[in-house]
Structures are given as structure tokens and as C-alpha cells.
Amino acid sequence: MMNNLRAKTGKQGEDIAAAYLKKAGYRIIERNYRCIFGEMDIVARDGNTTVFVEVKSRRSDRFGEPQASVGPAKQKKLSMISMHYLKNKDLLDRNARFDVVAVKLTPDGHEVKLIPNAFELAI
């Protein structure tokens, strides 16, 4: 039951984040890109920059702000996924960055916070 709620929260947060990014002018290239290193929630383009987006969704502040859960270990994992993506798509010569979208889901709706350049490549 708990995993089902967590998956539903994650999917809902990713849908909200994708719509938010589109409205902000990003072009969504892929969602849920999977490779040997794990999964990237959203790969997008912002102008000439490839943007790797981690979406964090929460239904309460019980465990802190959603973006606080993107610590050093998660950053390293996302960095490895991004390098795999760039290499496989022959985009290693392009500008890239990491953004985090924090989504708070409440009974009254949702709140979205975009954190561009949230962290540097961590390999």
C-alpha cells in the first residue's frame, strides 16, 4: 500500500513538473530515461542546453523540503546517468546542467519550485 502511494505521488509530481517545465519554455525530450546506472526523471532542452531534471515530490513537510533529498549520493548517480545519456546520444560536446523540481502536493493543490543548476557533475 505504501509503495503504491509513493509511486502515485512520484508519477503525479513528474506530470506536474513536466507541465511546469513546458510552460517555462523547456522542451521535454524524454521522461523516465533508464540505463544501467538508474533512471532520470526528465531530460529536456532549455535553449541549446540539455537539462537533466530530478523531480522530488512530497505530500507533507514531515521529512523536510523535497529538494533536500537530492544529496551527494543521488547527485553522483544522476551524474553517471547523464554521462551515459550524453555518450549514447553523441551529445558530449553540448552544454548540460542539472535542475531539480520540487513539488509539494497538498489537499488544496500543489506548489512547484524549480532549482536550475541545482548541482555540478559529481563523478
**CATH of range 2-119; options 3.60.40.10, 3.40.1350.10, 2.70.50.30, 3.40.50.150:** 3.40.1350.10
pLDDT of residue 6: 75
pLDDT of residue 40: 97
Work out the number of other CB atoms within 10 angstroms of the CB of residue 43: 21
Question: What are the pLDDT digits (tens) for 65-94?
Answer: 778 788 999 999 999 999 999 999 999 999
For residue 107, the 8-state DSSP code is T
Lowest mean per-residue pLDDT among 2-6, 48-52, 94-98: 2-6
pLDDT of residue 58: 83
What is d(CA 44, CA 53) in angstroms, rounded to the nearest whole number? 8
pLDDT of residue 46: 97
pLDDT band at 7 (very low <50, low <70, confident <90, very high): confident
Give the residue extent of every domain in the chain: 2-119
The grid cell for 87 is 555518450
